[in-house]
Amino acid sequence: MINKLNDKIKKTNAPIVVGLDPMLNYLPKHLLDAGIKKHGESLEAVSDAIFEYNKAIVDATYDLIPAVKPQVAMYEQFGLPGLEAYKKTIDYCHEKDLVVIGDVKRGDIGSTSAAYATAHVGKVTVGGKTFRPFDEDFATVNPYLGSDGINPFVDVCKEEKRGLFILVKTSNPSSGEFQDKLIETEDGKKIPLYEYVGAMVDKWGADCMGDEFSYIGAVVGATYPEMGKVLRNIMPKSYILVPGYGAQGGKGVDLVNFFNKDGLGAIVNSSRGIIAAYTKDQYKDKGITEQNFADASRLAVIDMVEDISSALKNR
Amino acid sequence: MINKLNDKIKKTNAPIVVGLDPMLNYLPKHLLDAGIKKHGESLEAVSDAIFEYNKAIVDATYDLIPAVKPQVAMYEQFGLPGLEAYKKTIDYCHEKDLVVIGDVKRGDIGSTSAAYATAHVGKVTVGGKTFRPFDEDFATVNPYLGSDGINPFVDVCKEEKRGLFILVKTSNPSSGEFQDKLIETEDGKKIPLYEYVGAMVDKWGADCMGDEFSYIGAVVGATYPEMGKVLRNIMPKSYILVPGYGAQGGKGVDLVNFFNKDGLGAIVNSSRGIIAAYTKDQYKDKGITEQNFADASRLAVIDMVEDISSALKNR
């Protein structure tokens, strides 16, 4: 699956991923009204509206992008109907041949981690039949519980040729509270915890190589470009999934450190900046309304790719 | 909700929580057969079997225990039908007036953490109607992302009078890989990361007090009793949720350190040891078969309470 992701990035020339994170206040009113007309004021109404919203954005952008990253929390907050929209969105993105990164940030130990791996990148057998519960191509994973938590995910990924992005340095302002703390390594060196986790990602990934890259990648926030530079060197074979572009403050020029010399090895996420582009003044001048919201998403994808491409050219 | 948990522990004299973690290989054959007869070989068949399994165990134990802790991964691995069994289990436990701890180990930042909090301990409004998506009383949370990740959960808990258990020191063998690393604090002291996280839990919890305890608690594994002693002192107002008893190797005598002098302040989880008690030789002698599996769960609860009570008496 890492080969597919890498190939699609080369073909589209777009090292970006569209974050399908539907907040209630982004949903165009006509979609929510249609849901309520069908199901009444209910979670099912929101679920329908979310799927229609995602579908329109995917239809408007799928030829330009390699991948999408639905954030499961944004679906989970609407209970079972919300998660039904999550699953329908994943299935629809597969139909469009997009790589699907499930931003689930799961993490537990032993058989529990194995169960999460089954849920998101694995399969389960009942009697003579096999099912893929959520069927993402990649899942994001939290490393706080150590190797016991990661290994069951890695085992499933090896079998299924799917992949992980492990949280190393997150994009939020307080990510340093624990992640930046200086620790002593086994050989007496003092390094920040995120570097140590990065070295573990490199180790976990060494045994999971695709053609050019490992299918065990890392999450490093766009908001920390200097740390990105260091981590790029620590994990040369890992794709870096970079959140924090746009709304969280990351800019194209901040991103060059996350890429290898050949412009590969990183994939930058934007959620709000693309899916809620129709609310921005810059697109209102171009004939965008709430009705044709998805056209704004297409314009925002083109602008984002241009921003990153020119930063990579000028580095 | 922390007051309810504390009161129920006093009333039942049982500082324990039953982990409702249904693995496919624990499910008695007659329950799975009944599910398959109704739905064919499908995730829906497993979902039905899981709910019937949980219901029987709850019916056999609810008068003896204060709380249950369903592990969401074990449901998520069966996709949407699995999560339907999760929700039905929670609703049924509420009917029996049990405190429900959702072992979800979620953790993200900002609006995403807020969405997880909404999903598990909060509510969402659609038009004029309000829904509680999963409706747990407590949720477990991962701290790796720092305060930005925890604060949105705390905000929802304050409003809803529900609570959290934040991962501090987990029960697994490799938990030390990151959690035990010595870090330097702001004032130049060297302490293990888990102590630093424990101090943060105490800080987050100070503003969230119930009558005797904070509704912001911590997870500390039974397998690390000495660390439990230290953490008990660092977080005097936090309930400690203690996994790792039984199957993972923790014994009654290891647990005394997690409790305050008055025998309160900790709640010990057992999953396999109770829900799969029917597979143990020690209960087969007492007329237990796969058919009356839930009777074995009742016997196992009584044995576990006795083990912990006598350890607390003899300390």
CATH number at residue B302: 3.20.20.70
Chain-chain contact of B183 with A196 (C-beta, under 8 angstroms):
no
Residue B203 pLDDT = 96
Residue of chain A minimizing CA distance to B120:
A77
Residue B91 domain-assigned (yes or no): no
Residue A163 pLDDT = 97
How large is the ipTM? 0.96
Residue B144 domain-assigned (yes or no): yes
Q: Best of B27, B44, B109 to disrupt the A interface by mutation (most A CBs within 10 Å)? A: B109
Res. A188 pLDDT band, cuts 50 70 90? confident
Closest chain B C-alpha to A255 CA, distance in angstroms = 21
**Given CB atoms, is A222 within the 8 Å cutoff of chain B?**
no
Chain-chain contact of B175 with A43 (C-beta, under 8 angstroms):
no
Residue B105 has its nearest CB partner, among A107, A126, A133, at A107
Cα dist from B87 to A159, B22, B34, B81, whole Å? 31, 14, 20, 10
Residue of chain B minimizing CA distance to A173:
B148
**pLDDT beyond 80 at A47:** yes
Instruction: Note if B105 is an active site residue.
Output: yes
Closest chain A C-alpha to B277 CA, distance in angstroms = 18
Residue A240 pLDDT = 98
Which of B55, B88, B96, B105 is flagged as catalytic? B105
Residue B174 has its nearest CB partner, among A116, A146, A182, at A146
Residue B219 domain-assigned (yes or no): yes
Host domain of residue B222: 2-15+59-71+101-313
Provide, as residue numbers in chain A, all residues whose Cβ is less than 8 Å from the Cβ of B113: 73
Residue type, A46: V
3-state secondary structure chain B: CHHHHHHHHHHHCCCEEECCCCCHHHCCHHHHHHHHHHHCCCHHHHHHHHHHHHHHHHHHHCCCCCEECCECHHHHCCHHHHHHHHHHHHHHHHHCCCEEEEEEEECCCHHHHHHHHHHHHCCEEECCEEECCCCCCEEEECCCCCHHHHHHHHHHHHHHCCEEEEEEECCCHHHHHHHCCEEECCCCCEEEHHHHHHHHHHHHHHCCECCCCEEEEEEECCCCHHHHHHHHHHCCCEEEEECCECCCCECHHHHHHHCCCCCCCEEEEECHHHHCHHHCHHHHCCCCCCCCHHHHHHHHHHHHHHHHHHHHHCC
**pLDDT beyond 80 at A11:** yes
Which 158-197 residues of chain A touch chain B by CB within 8 A?
A: 167, 170-179, 181-184, 193, 196-197
Total count of domains within chain A: 1
Count of A–B CB contacts within 8 Å?
215
Residue B76 has its nearest CB partner, among A42, A119, A179, at A119
Q: pLDDT by residue (tens digit) across A137-153?
A: 999 999 998 999 999 99
Chain-chain contact of B73 with A133 (C-beta, under 8 angstroms):
no
Q: pLDDT by residue (tens digit) across A271-284?
A: 999 999 999 998 98
pTM of the predicted model over 0.80: yes
Averaged pLDDT of chain B:
95
CA distance B165 to B99: 13
Average pLDDT over residues B119-137: 97
Q: pLDDT by residue (tens digit) across B260-303?
A: 999 999 999 999 999 999 999 989 888 899 999 999 999 999 99
Averaged pLDDT of chain A:
95
Residue B284 pLDDT = 85
Residue B148 has its nearest CB partner, among A112, A143, A173, at A173
Residue of chain A minimizing CA distance to B183:
A183
**Given CB atoms, is B133 within the 8 Å cutoff of chain A?**
yes
Q: pLDDT by residue (tens digit) across B161-181?
A: 999 999 999 999 899 988 999
**Given CB atoms, is B115 within the 8 Å cutoff of chain A?**
yes
Sign of CA dihedral A171, A173, A178, A182: positive
